[in-house]
């Protein structure tokens, strides 16, 4: 199962990079396809980094548990919202949504591990 997930994620990133490269070659730097690829690769990179850091933290006892199941939902909702804002208002407001999503996920991790409770 994990191999399939990694292969799928790698294939998505590879196709995204090829699509981004071809759209830039065609001179359409701000095309909707390149915006979509930017948003998807950003959320995939965040998923990989959170999984790595969360797994290490759980392994070394910093966190009691790390479950990234909810991150998939956050990434889908946040990615759709980020894409729509990027197309309508530009890059900076869309990046604010991405950062807010990461801070929200950090809060979820803290709540899951009882850090915010008395």
Alpha-carbon span 72 to 95, nearest angstrom: 18
Question: The dihedral of CA 85, 19, 44, 71: what is its sign?
Answer: positive
Cβ within 8 Å of residue 9, ≥6 positions away: 44, 47, 48
- Indicate the pLDDT class of residue 27, thresholds 50, 70 and 90: low
pTM attached to this predicted model = 0.74
Alpha-carbon span 96 to 60, nearest angstrom: 31
Give me the residue spans of the domains in the chain. 2-112
Question: Would you give the DSSP letter of residue 115?
Answer: S
Res 30: pLDDT: 62
pLDDT 10s digits, 37-90: 889 889 988 998 998 898 898 899 888 888 888 899 999 999 999 999 999 998
Alpha-carbon span 46 to 29, nearest angstrom: 23
Res 28: pLDDT: 59
Report the percentage of the chain scoring pLDDT > 90: 36
């Amino acid at each position: 199962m994990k191999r399939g997930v990694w292969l799928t994620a790698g294939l998505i990133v590879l196709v995204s990079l090829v699509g981004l490269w071809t759209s830039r070659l065609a001179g359409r730097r701000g095309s909707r396809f390149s915006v979509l690829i930017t948003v998807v690769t950003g959320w995939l990179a965040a998923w990989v980094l959170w999984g790595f850091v969360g797994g290490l933290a759980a392994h070394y006892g910093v966190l009691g548990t790390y479950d990234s199941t909810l991150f998939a939902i956050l990434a889908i909702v946040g990615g759709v919202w980020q894409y729509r804002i990027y197309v309508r208002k530009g890059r900076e407001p869309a990046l604010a949504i991405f950062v807010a999503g990461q801070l929200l996920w950090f809060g979820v991790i803290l709540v899951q591990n009882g850090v915010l409770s008395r």
